[in-house]
């Protein structure tokens, strides 16, 4: 396990270095489902690199990646890596920063390890099941904040068309009005890492995919925080979910806001 964790950390760093290098030259940007859903040739290149490295070291493992580079049926694999080569592609394109690499390993659907690497800040967040969460070598422990008016929250849910359709926009608006401050980073994995290290007290988002939170779940839980679905049900790491992540002190009041 220690070997695999070291490998995953080095892999995330190397993938991050590749994307940083590629920022120095022009790259292709194309739309996926809409003008706000971008993909670049760098996303694909980095995913291919990560997939090849994983298979070179662990040929018996499956891989679920956003760009679909590994095309085999995942149901026959006990151990599956869940990867987002560039989380925050819009930031990558527009800002050349505020993006990250996210890599997680799940064994029989249980999270084993997760790493999130921000190449611009050279920050590696890592967590191993039962062994804690770390930023570099520093152990992360989330301090509880009990009052929303002392909490810094990240969410764009109150702007979300789908939230309006299902009547969640008002609850989200109440929540962000009650908190101390609001931030919108546009990089789900990094926002979960920031909850784990206390830079954010909560992160709430609709319709994320497994690669957006597979590593973040481990980080937040191992740092002692809360992460779950807005519906109150547990997260299936292989299915899309709308999620709430926060310190333990806020979990009750945030979940209540969305239920009532």
Question: Which of positions 185-244 make contact with ligand IPD (CB under 6 A)?
Answer: 186-188, 205, 208, 212
Is 45 an interacting residue with respect to ligand IPD (CB under 6 A)? no
- Residue 87 interacts with ligand IPD (CB under 6 A): yes or no: yes
State in angstroms the smallest separation of the CB of 195 from Ca ion.
16
Give the shortest CB-43-to-Ca ion separation in angstroms.
6
Cβ closer to Ca ion: 42 or 168?
Answer: 42
Comparison of 19 and 205: residue with beta carbon closer to ligand IPD: 205
Residue 198 CB, nearest approach to Ca ion (Å): 22
Q: Give the nearest distance from C-beta 212 to ligand IPD in angstroms.
A: 5
Which positions from 98 through 117 interact with ligand IPD, judged by CB under 6 A? Answer: none
Q: Which residues contact 233 (CB under 8 A, 6 or more apart)?
A: none
Would you give the distance in Å from CA 45 to the centre of its chain?
Answer: 20
* Distance between CA atoms of residues 237 and 224, nearest Å: 19
What, of ligand IPD, Ca ion, none, does residue 116 touch, CB below 5 to 8 Å by kind? Answer: none
Query: Min. distance of Cβ 84 from Ca ion in angstroms?
Result: 4
Nearest residue (beta carbon) to ligand IPD: 188
Kindly indicate which of the ranges 6-14, 85-93, 132-140, 250-258 contains the residues binding ligand IPD, using the contact rule CB under 6 A.
85-93
Closest to ligand IPD by CB, 88 or 237: 88
Query: Quick one: what does residue 186 bind among ligand IPD, Ca ion, none, with the CB cut-off 5 to 8 Å set by partner type?
Result: ligand IPD
List C-alpha distances in Å: 24 to 21, 88, 103, 137, 196. Answer: 6, 18, 24, 30, 31
Residue 66 near Ca ion by CB under 5 A: yes
Instruction: Quote the CA–CA distance of 140 and 30 in Å, as a whole number.
Output: 37
From the list 204, 228, 217, the residue with the least C-alpha distance to 152 is 204
Q: Does 47 bind ligand IPD (CB under 6 A)?
A: no
Strand ranges (DSSP E) for 55-109?
62-65, 79-87, 100-107
Length of the chain: 260
Q: Which residues pair with 123 in a beta bridge?
A: 118
The answer to whether 160 and 184 are in contact (CB under 8 A) is no
**What does DSSP say about strands 110-118 and 138-140: parallel, antiparallel, or unpaired?**
unpaired
What is the Cα–Cα distance from 123 to 187, expressed in whole angstroms? Answer: 15
How many CB atoms sit inside 10 A of residue 25's CB? 7
Among 45, 47, 84, 222, the residue binding Ca ion under the rule CB under 5 A is 84
Q: Are strands 138-140 and 152-155 parallel, antiparallel or unpaired?
A: unpaired
Shortest gap between Cβ of 47 and Ca ion (angstroms)? 8
Interface with Ca ion in residues 204-223 (CB under 5 A): 212
Residues of this chain that interact with ligand IPD (CB under 6 A) are 66, 84, 87-89, 186-188, 205, 208, 212
The footprint of Ca ion (CB under 5 A) covers 66, 84, 86-87, 212
């Amino acid at each position: 396990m220690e070997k695999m964790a070291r490998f995953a950390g080095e892999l995330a760093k190397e993938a991050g270095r590749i994307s940083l290098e590629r920022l120095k030259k022009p790259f292709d940007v194309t739309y996926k489902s809409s003008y706000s859903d971008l993909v670049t040739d760098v996303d694909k290149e980095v995913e291919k690199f990560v997939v090849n490295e994983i298979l070179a070291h662990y040929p018996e493992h499956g891989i679920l990646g956003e760009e679909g580079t590994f095309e085999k049926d995942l149901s026959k694999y006990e151990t599956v890596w869940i990867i987002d080569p560039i989380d925050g592609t819009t930031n990558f394109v527009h800002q050349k920063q505020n993006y990250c690499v996210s890599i997680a390993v799940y064994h029989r659907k249980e999270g084993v390890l997760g790493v999130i690497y921000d190449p611009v800040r050279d920050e590696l967040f890592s967590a191993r099941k039962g062994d804690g969460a770390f930023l570099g070598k520093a152990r992360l422990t989330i301090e509880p904040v009990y009052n929303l008016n002392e909490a810094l929250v990240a969410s764009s849910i109150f702007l979300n068309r789908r939230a309006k359709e299902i009547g969640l926009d008002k609850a989200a608006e109440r929540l962000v009005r009650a908190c101390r401050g609001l931030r919108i980073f546009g990089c789900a994995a990094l926002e979960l890492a920031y909850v784990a290290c206390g830079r954010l007290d909560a992160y709430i988002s609709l319709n994320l995919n497994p690669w957006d939170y597979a590593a973040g779940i481990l980080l937040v839980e191992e740092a002692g925080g809360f992460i779950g679905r807005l519906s109150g049900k547990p997260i299936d790491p292989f299915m899309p979910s709308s999620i709430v992540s926060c310190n333990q002190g806020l979990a009750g009041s945030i979940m209540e806001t969305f239920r009532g």
